[in-house]
Amino acid sequence: MNRVLLISLAMVLLGCGGSLTDEQRKKMLEASEQQAIVKVTDAEVLEVAFAKGRTVLEGLTSPAETGSREKVEGVKIHWLEPGSRGLEIEQQLIDAYMNSVIEGTSLHDNVQEIGTDSLLYTKAVVLIRPDSSVEVKGTWNIWMSKKQLILSMKKR
């Protein structure tokens, strides 16, 4: 029985020819690399998220530009002004930025882990008035896939 199975398998393999084009080999290699297990730390993921968020915001001047930037960068971008409605987490973050301004604390960009598969990069846009008072004009909120960030780390 084993001999029949082995002979059948050998005939099938010989019948196929076993030759792949260079493009097929390349696709198979890429597919296997995508499936490879990669161990990354949370700190490494956060570092890449900060870098990605900052890169996305470079040159972005108005909410009208977000559509094309989202497609290019593979993220979701949302501008939120004080008093306007956003997702609960975005609302909490803009409130935190506004409280920081009231308390005189300096404002920095931020990354929050949302669930197990997403990260939210936020950056406040402030206006410093002539009397040195600070006003939060709004926040840029950039939603990123954790999976895509990790895959981008593999390409480096």
Contact 77, 64 (CB under 8 A): no
Mean pLDDT of 56-73: 87
Q: Could you report the per-residue pLDDT of 4-36, keeping only the tens digit for each? A: 555 665 565 555 555 778 888 888 777 777 676
CB count within 10 Å of CB 37 equals: 4
Q: Which two tokens stand for residue 52?
A: 């990605």
144 secondary structure, DSSP code: E
Average of pLDDT values for 64-87? 89
State yes or no: pLDDT of 149 exceeds 70.
Answer: yes
Given pLDDT bands bounded at 50, 70 and 90, which one contains residue 75? very high
Percent of the chain with pLDDT over 70: 84
CATH number of 41-155, picked from 2.60.40, 3.30.450, 3.30.70, 3.40.50: 3.30.450
Q: What is the pLDDT of residue 39?
A: 82
Span 109-123, pLDDT tens digits: 999 999 889 999 999
Report the mean per-residue pLDDT for the chain: 84
- Residue extents of the structural domains in the chain: 1-36, 41-155
